[in-house]
Amino acid sequence: LVCSEEPKTLAEAERIVSIGKAHAWQVTDIKETEQRRAPYAPFTTSTLQQAASTRLGFSPSRTMGAAQKLYEAGHITYMRTDSTTMSAVAVQSILACIAKEYGKEYVEQRTYKTKSKSAQEAHEAIRPTHIGKRSAGTTDDQKRLYELIWDRAVSSQMADAVMKRTKVVANVSGSTESIPDFSANGSRVLFPGWLAVDTRARGEDVEVPPLTPGD
């Protein structure tokens, strides 16, 4: 929770803390808006390096070393590419996999355009060569990177996630002294869509439970 008014003095801050600790809290207001969250495009070299750094803690050289081995073993397409396009055959294979594993309501075929005008599109986006292979690689680095690539390729062809963006406002109850409102912003998943596959992307949002004023 964040205080709606920044205390101007230490004494005021201490007063707010003291009252807050001494009383029960309740929800005073809730503002909700529905929002759709679209999946990410399949990986290019640069986006693979960024995601591997953020999610796996890999340096670019560590990422490319593992990707090179996966490519040489035939598990992924060429790992040096600026393209976000996947072949028609690969897309159809992915769509069939999604329908079978998650249901037709999760399927949404998408085409991604490469943003860079100077992009080298001789190669596809980085994707698994066989979508039916959920795990691949001989080392932990390779296996973790392959999972990241599989998740991104498959989730790129899935329906939007539907979220409830929520602002919860709360204050103390039963106090003779007033303090500023406190609020928290977060979201609630109504339909997971592509987040059912790319579950780590779900953690990028603060999730709040269903609440009503008075709770």
Q: How far is CA 211 from CA 8, 126, 165, 181, in A?
A: 31, 42, 13, 17
**78 carries an active-site annotation:** yes
Extended strands (E) in 65-212: 161-172, 182-191
CA 131/CA 118 separation, integer angstroms: 29
CA 102/CA 39 separation, integer angstroms: 16
Of residues 16, 146, 124, the one with CA closest to residue 75: 146
- Per annotation, catalytic residue among 78, 102, 112, 146: 78
CA 184/CA 171 separation, integer angstroms: 12
Catalytic residue IDs: 78
